[in-house]
Structure 1
Amino acid sequence: MKKLILAIILVIGGAAGGFWATTDDDMKALVSSLPTDANVLFWNTAQRDAAFRTLDRIPILAKSNIIESGDDVFALPKGPAIKIGTNVDAYMKAQRTAGLVIVHDGKIRFEKYGLGFSGDGKWTSFSVAKSFTSTLVGAAIKDGHIKSIEDKVSAYIPDLKGSAYDDVTIRQLLTMTSGVKWNEDYADPKSDVALFNQHKAKDGMDVTVSYMRTLPREAPAGTKWVYKTGETNLIGVLVSSATGKKLSDYLTEKVWVPFGMEQDATWLLGATGHEISGCCVQASVRDFARFGQFMLGGAIVNGKSILPYDWIAAATTKQAGIGDPGKGYGFQWWTYDDGSYAAQGIFGQGIFIDPKRKLVIASNSNWPKATDDTVGEQREAFYRAVQAAVDAETAPVAPPKQAS
């Protein structure tokens, strides 16, 4: 999994009393200590522990829009505890997990919290938001706002005309195969991620569009996969332009209220007031799990799917190779060749979905580093352990042997 940084520079200098009224003294001290002119990758572990549950409540850090919940909540009844063949407490400690919810066949089979977090709180998503954004593309197609993913992006974002994105399709944005050059190396101060965060938008232009339209082409469109957070931000602009709605309002309308999320969520805003669509949805772990259930159930709300009939199948299967055997990239979803798929964000955020086993695993964490192969492999091993536990429960029981 590639890295993602907040699409804004996080400048901390103090905050309003209303924020601190909901925060204990220890958290106040930790958040107040966040370094000036720095980004999340440079915060220490304790600072991230404090901030990841409060990003939408630090006014000087970033503004946010509310994703409203409704009156009717999608039920997640408790089921019997699942017997996983691993030490879950040790796993959560190693992952620095704030919340872990396992839903099997529509029932919560495991739910536990750490780091002083609880089911009543909200934790930031980082790149898990990418999968929310791509789902809104499908909704916009179903609603007739977007004709086809084969349409050119510049047809919906006119400020991209004449740039390298002029001949890029929506499909190529969704699969990150635009062929436009992008550097997401956070060790390089001249990378696009670093420069993107410092970019000043041209008057009247969205900051994402203003920067992305300056990028050169490195490969023919559709021929090369490169992970580009900036392109997911473009997808968000595209959806808002096509629908005439804020992403937060469209997510409220299409998913949050009709499907029955239990809490309001929030979506952080970039410098020019648009939701940071590649990042930063704050929601409860149970509502992240509900989004997994939403996908697992065919995106059905009020008896009808909000997505085109073939959308989920295409979105959640390999559309582009990523150089990792058995895995791939769909429409802003990470895919596995066994039919499962996942939304993933740095520092250990994730929604794992296994349609074959009717299984959803939602987790939020604060890994010691943004990306780490060791803890990433440990998480995938945990997914496999849960899959094995489900298989063990559902395996047919052999009949007793007959006496000879």
Structure 2
Amino acid sequence: MKGFWISTAALALAGCATAYDAAPVPEVAAAPPAVTQSMPEQMASMDPSDSILFWSDERRSAAFRDMEGLFPGLEVAPANRVRELPRAAGALPADVQAEIRAYMAQTQAAGVMALKDGEVVFEEYGLGFGADDRWTSFSVAKSFTSTLLGAAIEDGAIDSVDTPVTEIIPALAGTAYDGVSVGQIASMTSGVAWNEDYTDPNSDVARMLAIAPVAGESQAVTYARTLEREAPAGEKWVYKTLETNLLGLIVEQATGQLLAAYAAQKIVEPAGFEGGMFWMQDLTGGNIGGCCLSLRLADYARMGQFALEGGEGIVPAGWFANAGSPLVDFGERAPGFGYGYQWWTYPGDTYGAQGIFGQAITIVPEEELVVAIVSNWPSATSSDHRAGFRTLVGKIAAALDD
């Protein structure tokens, strides 16, 4: 399997500023954090039947906190200017704290952090996990990739969400993605057929990263060639992790940078991450846009705070308000729920990032509230656990609004 991996040269990103004693020192942007290659000594199998989706609870728990020990990826250093997260003067009521801890025990949560107005109102850890440790994100990474799409549009590297995908990735011409726009990829309304069944080792999501690489072609494009269209572009929503992988490739092609390097400039530094970020690569060396970056719990919360505050100067004005709105409304099948540009939307103008096995960042703009959680659920998905977390966020918001 090692022969399939393309070694990515280490990236060193640095900057400097000069000041003179006789003049005031102007405010300058901090240099982006350094980005380096990470390669494990013994890589995990890419056999779909041995996918992390089907690992034992114990094996998952060890892997979720050490993905860099199993898979190649890029390491981004902490921000040069760390955003402080001060402790709020008041604490959550004891009964709400007790409910959070009970939920954590019930769902095998490794950590929960809540920020109100950018201040920590709750922080708790479990499963032997701690404040200085990292945990994987799974599809929470999708919302990071969406943010990088916004940054690429702000930078002028991509004209708009209406740009045809084939203008940026010509290799998709003649595939099921011909005629699909960047925005339709971002909202998962391409009309391309897909199976995201996490319990099926033969599903598309289980097999897409195991497909044999083709020289000179992204693994995401290689798998996209196998897919067929089932509906006109823009008319049907189907959740597809491959489309976020393609979205990541779109950003990489447009900016000329791997996602981790671009994220160092556009997320890690401006959001002020305190710990390093690891982002997995696929068999062709590109970062996996739809999955598997690893952060400290507090840095997931910082990402939520960055989105809550709008990412001024990094993404277009109103980007998060639009990306976190129900561009796809689930209607009668799930009243009040929908999907934006790689963000899930919930009742009450709340939105968030969520990943399998219980990872999430939930943002409540009206209450200036961010709640981040990392977990090792016994199963990849659980509607009960997900609903329980939304209820918990609602109780936190209500308690802080009193």
Same fold, judged at TM 0.5 (above): yes
Structure 2 contact 323–341 (Cα < 8 Å) conserved: yes
SS of aligned partner of 2:178? helix
Find 1:82's aligned residue among 81, 92, 114: 92
Structure 2 contact 48–202 (Cα < 8 Å) conserved: no
The 5-angstrom pairing of residues 338-349 of structure 1 reads 338-349=348-359
Q: How far, CA to CA, are the matches of 2:129 and 2:387 in structure 1?
A: 24
Partner of 1:316: 324
1:67 is the counterpart of 2:79: no
Partner of 1:353: 363
Find 1:372's aligned residue among 378, 382, 392: 382
Structure 1 contact 122–284 (Cα < 8 Å) conserved: yes
Q: How far, CA to CA, are the matches of 1:262 and 1:187 in structure 2?
A: 35
Structure 2 contact 310–318 (Cα < 8 Å) conserved: no
Q: How far, CA to CA, are the matches of 2:171 and 2:363 in structure 1?
A: 37
Partner of 1:402: none
| CA displacement, residues 62-105 of structure 1 (integer Å, 9 cap, x when unaligned) | 10101222222101000121125352221110121111111001
SS of aligned partner of 2:386? helix
Partner of 1:12: none
Find 1:228's aligned residue among 216, 240, 247: 240
1:48 is the counterpart of 2:57: no
The 5-angstrom pairing of residues 198-277 of structure 1 reads 198-277=210-289
Further displaced range: 307-316 or 104-113: 307-316
Q: Which amino acid aligns with 1:316?
A: G
Q: How far, CA to CA, are the matches of 2:200 and 2:124 in structure 1?
A: 38
Structure 1 contact 67–248 (Cα < 8 Å) conserved: yes
Q: How far, CA to CA, are the matches of 1:190 and 1:117 in structure 2?
A: 33
| CA displacement, residues 230-265 of structure 1 (integer Å, 9 cap, x when unaligned) | 000000000000000010000001121233111111
SS of aligned partner of 1:389? helix
SS of aligned partner of 2:114? strand
Partner of 1:182: 194
Partner of 1:384: 394
Deviation at 1:19, TM superposition (A): 7.8
Structure 1 contact 201–211 (Cα < 8 Å) conserved: no
Q: How far, CA to CA, are the matches of 1:37 and 1:347 in structure 2?
A: 18
Q: Which amino acid aligns with 1:345?
A: G
Deviation at 1:189, TM superposition (A): 4.2
The 5-angstrom pairing of residues 72-151 of structure 1 reads 72-79=81-88, 80-83=90-93, 85=96, 87-151=99-163
SS of aligned partner of 2:143? helix
RMSD: 2.4
Deviation at 1:373, TM superposition (A): 1.7
Report the CA distance shift for 1:236/1:36 in structure 2 as closer, same or farther (over 3 A): closer
Q: How far, CA to CA, are the matches of 2:268 and 2:78 in structure 1?
A: 6
Deviation at 1:36, TM superposition (A): 10
Report the CA distance shift for 1:326/1:72 in structure 2 as closer, same or farther (over 3 A): same
Q: Which amino acid aligns with 2:279?
A: W
Segments of 4+ in structure 1 off by > 4 A? none
Deviation at 1:211, TM superposition (A): 0.9
Q: Which amino acid aligns with 1:344?
A: Q
Provide the aligned length of Structure 1 versus Structure 2. 361
SS of aligned partner of 1:108? strand
Structure 2 contact 81–272 (Cα < 8 Å) conserved: yes
Partner of 2:315: 307
Q: How far, CA to CA, are the matches of 1:250 and 1:121 in structure 2?
A: 23
Deviation at 1:153, TM superposition (A): 0.5
Report the CA distance shift for 1:282/1:187 in structure 2 as closer, same or farther (over 3 A): closer
Structure 2 contact 48–210 (Cα < 8 Å) conserved: no
Deviation at 1:306, TM superposition (A): 0.7
Deviation at 1:133, TM superposition (A): 0.1
In structure 2, the gaps of 5 or more residues are 5-38
In structure 1, the gaps of 5 or more residues are 1-7, 9-17, 21-30, 393-404
The percent of aligned pairs where both chains have the same amino acid is 45
Q: How far, CA to CA, are the matches of 1:376 and 1:182 in structure 2?
A: 23
Q: How far, CA to CA, are the matches of 1:189 and 1:70 in structure 2?
A: 38
SS of aligned partner of 2:230? coil
